[in-house]
Amino acid sequence: MAPYVIVTGDFVRTGGMDMANLALASYLAERGVELHLVAHRVDTGLCAYPNVRVHSVSKPLDSYLLGSPLLDRVGRAWASKITARSGRVVVNGGNCSWSDINWIHYVHAAYTPQASGRAIYRLKTDIAHRKALTSERATLAGARLVLCNSHRTRRDIIEHLGVAEDRVNVVYYGSDPKRFSPITPEQRSEARRSLGLRDERPLIAFVGALGDRRKGFDTLFKAWQTLCADKDWDCDLVVIGAGAELNDWKRQAGERNLTGRIKFLGFRQDVHEVLAACDALAHPARYEAYGLVVREALCRNVPAIVSAASGVAEHYDGRLRQLLIQDPNKPDEVRERLWNWRRNINTIKEEVAPLSNSLRSHTWEGMAAQMIQLIEARN
């Protein structure tokens, strides 16, 4: 195979697009392809391959916004060199102004962030969004092939950015069937002990950044207040995620006497282990191009109550659609979805099992193989 360049912020295991890029790079590396990675961070395992060259890009003040011009410049430099050798270049959205293969994980034209907090943070969010939107439009206009992580993302690319349909394909994210396997009773007990849980009360997880309102934690929090006011509601909530709003949510939980019903865990790298302690995932996102954490929960056979507009919701059919939230801005709907799950907790878990098996069968390697087949077929 000809050499490849992949340009992205990070090749690591801690995020949706980061994990996906790591999986694609690992697939190429394992097959001996000459591979150039332009990024801020790269997993040490990738660096060990003799056919992989890492072109590190600095990130001033640990800011992706400040690092983006450097990523674009270094990415274009290596894209030019590899293209001259008939190689292929994979960029992510508008992160590098190069027209070959564009892998879309998030459509900035489809959602405007709703930042809160200090004025400086809101200004930074607005500047970053405007910059990303401009880069996204310019880069996608000339892409030979656009790969999307869901049909929802494909529609957004076509409708919001006017990309021709014949240039846009869908490849769903993959899974690690070993890391995200069905939870055994022993794993559940150990996970609950590690979280300091001494009883068998049902546990619901929320996983997502708390820097803006995209993941819908504000809606879940309002629904949770109402649920906990009902003496029959016997579930607790664990929140995995960090961000500018974390301390404010902790404060509000204390003021509303919810400290014993919500446990804030902050950022965690062991999400798969925390999920082992949980009975459900709540994910009322306002915008979600796909939703890898939902897929990972389902792979562990943990039912996920998720926004119907999320890309991952495309996997739901039949009775599982009762878990879908039609309007993530309505706390009452989120509350009703959670109550429905609680009343039918055992039945729903059984109904999730076939989907869990199906999702685990589509591995990261399978995703990467599908992508490379599409790329190599597009001259």
pLDDT at 185 over 80: yes
pLDDT given for residue 164 in this prediction: 96
Q: Which residues have C-beta within 8 Å of that of residue 25, sequence separation ≥ 6?
A: 6, 11, 35, 37, 46, 52
Provide the pLDDT confidence category of residue 117 given band limits of 50, 70 and 90: low
Mean pLDDT for the stretch of residues 225-249: 95
Q: Which long-range contacts (CB under 8 A, 24 or more apart) does 248-255 make?
A: 248/117, 249/210, 249/217, 249/221, 252/221, 253/221
pLDDT at 180 over 70: yes
| Average pLDDT over the chain, rounded to an integer | 95
| Residue 69: HSE in the Cβ half-sphere, 13 Å Cα cutoff | 3
Better-predicted residue by pLDDT, 368 or 259 = 368
pLDDT at 115 over 80: no
Q: C-alpha 258: how far from its chain's center?
A: 28
H-assigned helices in 195-243: 217-228
Provide the pLDDT confidence category of residue 125 given band limits of 50, 70 and 90: confident
pLDDT at 363 over 70: yes
pLDDT given for residue 116 in this prediction: 67
pLDDT given for residue 378 in this prediction: 87
Q: Strand pairing partners for 54?
A: 37
pLDDT at 132 over 70: yes
Mean pLDDT for the stretch of residues 90-103: 96
Element (H, E) at 52: strand 52-56
